[in-house]
Amino acid sequence: MADQIVITEKTSQAKDVRAAVDSRYGDILPAEGHLINLQDPEEVVPAWKRWTPILLRPEGLYGSRPAVGGNKAAKLAAIREALRTAKQVWLATDCDREGQLIGQEILEHYNYRGQVMRVLFTAQDPQTIREAFGRAKPNSEYARLYAAAVARRQADQIYNLSLTRTATVILGQGARGVIGVRRVKTPTLAIVCKRELEIKNFVPVTYFVTAQVSL
């Protein structure tokens, strides 16, 4: 097994990195988005399996577990096996908050303690990727970015699920399905609905404009 590996966020990214640096930095292994999910509420507190209008906030943070579905298990297994012998990992996931989370959460889940370097690039042409590897920094310098991503995800888990269950139980009586409350979709939908109501309730008013005429 290689003593260093590269983790990318997706397969297409892995292909671009491979075309740019080949195996200079070790085997290149793609994730497929999030390979690690947070536990469901009932995995933390069994009583939370029953939907009630309560705040689903555990004593600490929600724990993590491997994602299922599609080829996620196979992707994660390949990375997990490579981490057993890897002394250095190059995180080449997207350079935003979510990319930081997708890569680092795998390392945290498996308690990886080797050296981790962070590779940041916004374009995926060979020259840009090679330059990005050349100026890579220790992943520890991005601890705040990772913390921000963890906080966002934990907040979504707590409040989105709590509000979704509350809305479904209280407002959805007799209705089919779940009334989902989401951080982005819900306020966006509210903006669209508000504008639609303004259009429907618009009342035209006749008005005149007087013009001054110079003689």
Percentage of residues in the chain having pLDDT higher than 70:
97
Q: Give 97-138 pLDDT, tens digit per residue.
A: 999 999 999 999 999 999 999 999 999 999 999 999 999 999
What pLDDT, on a 0 to 100 scale, did the predictor assign at position 173? Answer: 75
**Cα separation, 180 vs 160, whole angstroms:** 8
- Does the pLDDT of residue 71 top 70, yes or no? yes
What pLDDT, on a 0 to 100 scale, did the predictor assign at position 58? Answer: 95
Confidence of residue 30 (pLDDT cuts 50, 70, 90): very high
Confidence of residue 172 (pLDDT cuts 50, 70, 90): confident
- Does the pLDDT of residue 212 top 80, yes or no? no
Q: Encoding tokens for residue 42?
A: 């009932």
Q: What is the mean pLDDT of residues 38-62?
A: 95
**Cα separation, 107 vs 94, whole angstroms:** 16
Phi, psi of 120 (to 5 degrees): -120, 125
Give the helix ranges, DSSP H, for the chain.
11-21, 41-44, 72-83, 97-109, 126-134, 143-155, 161-170, 185-200
Q: Compute the mean pLDDT over every residue in the chain, rounded to the nearest whole number.
A: 93
Q: Give 176-211 pLDDT, tens digit per residue.
A: 788 888 888 888 999 999 999 999 999 988 887 776
What pLDDT, on a 0 to 100 scale, did the predictor assign at position 1? Answer: 59
Q: Give 7-26 pLDDT, tens digit per residue.
A: 999 999 999 999 999 999 99
Q: How far apart are the first and last CA of the chain?
A: 93
Q: Is the model's pTM score more than 0.95?
A: no
- Does the pLDDT of residue 95 top 70, yes or no? yes
